[in-house]
Amino acid sequence: MTNRRSADMTTVIPVIKTMHRSWRAGLFGLLLALSLLAAGAAQAQLRVDISGVGATQYPIAIADFSGDPQGQLIGEVIRADLTRSGQFRLINATGSSLDAESTVDYDTWHGRGAHYIAYGSISQAAGQYTVSYRLGNVNQKTQMDGVAFTGSEKELRRIAHQIADRIYEQITGVRGVFSTRIAYVVQKSNTYELQIADADGQNPQVMLRSKHSIISPAWSPDGKKLAYVSFETGKPVVYVQTLATGERFPIANFKGNNSAPAWSPNGDQLAITLSRDGIAQIYTINADGSGLRRVMRSPLIDTEPFFSPDGSSLVFTSDRSGSPQIYQVPVSGGNATRITFNGSYNISPALSPSANELVYVTRRDGAFRIALQNMATGAEQLLTNGPDDESPSFAPNGMQILYSSIQGGRGVLAVVSTDGRVRQTLSTLDGKVREPTWGPFTN
User: Which pLDDT score, from 0 to 100, does residue 419 have?
Assistant: 93
Statement: residue 371 has pLDDT above 60: yes
For residues 371 and 425, the model is more confident at: 371
Return all residues near 429 (Cβ < 8 A) that are at least 6 apart: 44, 47
Mean pLDDT of all residues belonging to the chain: 88
Statement: residue 7 has pLDDT above 70: no
- Among left, alpha and beta (phi > 0; psi -120 to 50; other), residue 381 is beta
CA distances from 31 to 83, 93, 130, 435 (A): 40, 53, 52, 16
Q: Per the omega criterion (within 30 degrees of 0), is the bond before 236 cis?
A: no
User: Which pLDDT score, from 0 to 100, does residue 45 have?
Assistant: 61
Sign of the dihedral defined by the CA atoms of residues 363, 365, 371, 373, in that order? negative
Statement: residue 26 has pLDDT above 70: no
User: Which pLDDT score, from 0 to 100, does residue 51 have?
Assistant: 63
- Edge-to-edge strands of the sheet including 191-198? 205-210, 191-198, 181-188, 432-438
Statement: residue 311 has pLDDT above 80: yes
pLDDT tens string 296-306: 998 899 999 99
User: Which pLDDT score, from 0 to 100, does residue 187 have?
Assistant: 85
CA distance 308 to 330: 10
First-residue to last-residue Cα distance in the chain: 40
pLDDT tens string 150-199: 999 999 999 999 999 999 999 999 999 999 999 999 988 889 999 999 99
Q: Of the candidates 368, 418, 294, 385, which has an alpha carbon nearest to the alpha carbon of residue 36?
A: 368
CA distances from 29 to 3, 4, 179, 367, 392 (A): 12, 11, 35, 18, 19
Helices (H) and strands (E) in the chain, counts: 5, 30
User: Which pLDDT score, from 0 to 100, does residue 27 have?
Assistant: 26
User: Which pLDDT score, from 0 to 100, does residue 385 have?
Assistant: 93
Q: Strands, E, within 253-366: which ranges?
A: 258-263, 269-274, 281-286, 293-294, 302-307, 313-318, 325-330, 337-338, 346-351, 357-364
Structural domains for the chain:
9-48+179-438 (2.120.10.30), 54-172 (3.40.50.10070)
User: Which pLDDT score, from 0 to 100, does residue 180 have?
Assistant: 98
